[in-house]
């Protein structure tokens, strides 16, 4: 795609990010590779809902400004790391999708197989450990995670999605936030059931062959599970007492993933017969489940 059309597309997708509430104020940044191999990116401190062509810069692969005014986005290193790690990637979008970010704050993983069409097209979404925004550390964590995934959540911060073009990177971001929204609604209703492991494995292998994905994962498409995390393959759905599971036990309405499952009242009392009051036993059992006991 020539530079003129790519610039038009970038402005359009920036507006869509704001309209779809995937970011606010000066949040987020977009980039895409030009035919020359240089990078078209948004400048630092611009509102994506009001973005114009003047807010775009061309930088080389080391981040040096070649054309345009202002400084490039402070998170440029993260974008450059994606192009470095994945020769198939030609567009990168970073935004702060609210429900997905809330999942990272609540320590609930999105590296789970819940919706079939998402497993088919996107696989699972890992969360990169926290690092300061704009730091080389953050770029390193994204570089690592993006090798085997097209979408990555950044702990307490946002999401990074990639694709062969801006449309695909944008669709991946929308899919992440939509999945988070549906999963949250299910959790609010009592729990999100995961796909059976065999079905998740089948869907992912189909998806990698049909829609492609990270080259590392596509090369392993015949392996059972390919790029699905171990946790998914061993998961027995929402009935699982695995504390890393996606939802609370169905009999618990509390949307909090505890370190260990909260015992029943009988279990709590049996575990602490020496405690005098019922209240003491329950408090001790809950604290222990939260990892503070
Ligand atoms: Zn950010």
Domains of the chain: 3-188 (3.40.225.10), 258-289 (no CATH)
Distance between Cα 78 and ligand 1 center (Å): 10
Residues flanking ion ligand 1, Cβ below 5 Å: 158
Q: Is the pLDDT of residue 61 over 70?
A: yes
Distance between Cα 94 and ligand 1 center (Å): 6
CA 10 to chain centre: 21
What H or E segment, with its residue span, contains residue 163? strand 158-163
Q: Output the pLDDT for position 186.
A: 92
Residues of the chain with pLDDT > 90, as a percent, come to: 65
Distance between Cα 210 and ligand 1 center (Å): 32
Distance between Cα 242 and ligand 1 center (Å): 31
Q: With bands split at pLDDT 50, 70 and 90, how would you rate the model's confidence at 231?
A: low
Distance of alpha carbon 54 from alpha carbon 43, whole angstroms:
9
Q: Output the pLDDT for position 34.
A: 98
- Among the listed ranges 17-31, 80-94, 164-178, 251-265, which one has the minimum average pLDDT value? 251-265
Q: Output the pLDDT for position 24.
A: 96
What H or E segment, with its residue span, contains residue 92? strand 91-95
Distance of alpha carbon 21 from alpha carbon 4, whole angstroms:
26
Q: Output the pLDDT for position 247.
A: 47
Distance between Cα 131 and ligand 1 center (Å): 11
Distance between Cα 282 and ligand 1 center (Å): 41
Distance between Cα 258 and ligand 1 center (Å): 28
Mean pLDDT comparison of 39-53, 123-137, 226-240, highest-scoring range: 39-53
Q: Output the pLDDT for position 130.
A: 94
Distance between Cα 235 and ligand 1 center (Å): 32
Which burial class, exposed, middle or buried, applies to 52 when counting CB atoms under 10 A from its CB (0-12, 13-18, 19+)?
exposed
Q: pTM, whole model, 2 decimals?
A: 0.79
Distance of alpha carbon 239 from alpha carbon 228, whole angstroms:
20
Q: With bands split at pLDDT 50, 70 and 90, how would you rate the model's confidence at 262?
A: low
Distance between Cα 179 and ligand 1 center (Å): 20
Distance between Cα 62 and ligand 1 center (Å): 20
Q: Output the pLDDT for position 241.
A: 41
Distance between Cα 85 and ligand 1 center (Å): 20
pLDDT tens profile 142-184: 999 999 999 999 999 999 999 999 999 999 999 999 999 999 9
What is the chain's Cα-based Rg? 22
Residues of the chain with pLDDT > 70, as a percent, come to: 86
């Amino acid at each position: 795609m020539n530079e003129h059309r790519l610039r038009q597309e970038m402005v359009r997708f920036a507006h869509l990010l704001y309209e779809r509430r995937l970011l606010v104020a000066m949040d987020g940044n977009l980039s895409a590779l030009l035919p020359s191999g240089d990078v078209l990116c948004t400048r630092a401190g611009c509102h994506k809902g009001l973005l114009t062509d003047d807010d775009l810069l061309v930088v080389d692969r080391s981040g040096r400004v070649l054309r345009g005014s202002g400084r490039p986005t402070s998170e440029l290193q993260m974008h450059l790391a994606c192009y470095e790690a994945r020769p198939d990637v030609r567009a990168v979008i970073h935004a702060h999708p609210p429900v997905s970010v809330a999942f990272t704050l609540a320590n609930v993983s999105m590296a789970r197989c819940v919706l079939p069409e998402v497993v088919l097209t996107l696989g699972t979404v890992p969360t990169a450990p926290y690092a300061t925004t704009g730091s080389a550390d953050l770029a390193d964590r994204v570089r690592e995670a993006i090798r085997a995934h097209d979408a990555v959540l950044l702990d307490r911060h946002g999401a990074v999605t990639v694709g062969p073009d801006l449309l695909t990177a944008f669709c991946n971001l929308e899919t992440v936030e939509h999945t988070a929204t549906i999963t949250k609604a299910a959790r609010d209703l009592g729990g999100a059931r995961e796909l059976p492991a065999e079905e998740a494995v089948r869907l992912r292998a189909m998806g990698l062959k049909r829609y492609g994905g990270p080259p590392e994962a596509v090369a392993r498409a015949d392996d059972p599970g390919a790029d699905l995390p171990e946790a998914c393959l061993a998961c027995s759905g929402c009935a699982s007492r695995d504390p890393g599971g996606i939802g609370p036990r169905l009999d618990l309405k509390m949307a909090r993933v505890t370190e260990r499952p909260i015992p029943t009242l009988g279990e709590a009392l049996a575990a602490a017969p020496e405690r005098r009051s019922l209240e003491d036993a329950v408090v001790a059992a809950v604290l222990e489940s939260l990892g503070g006991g």
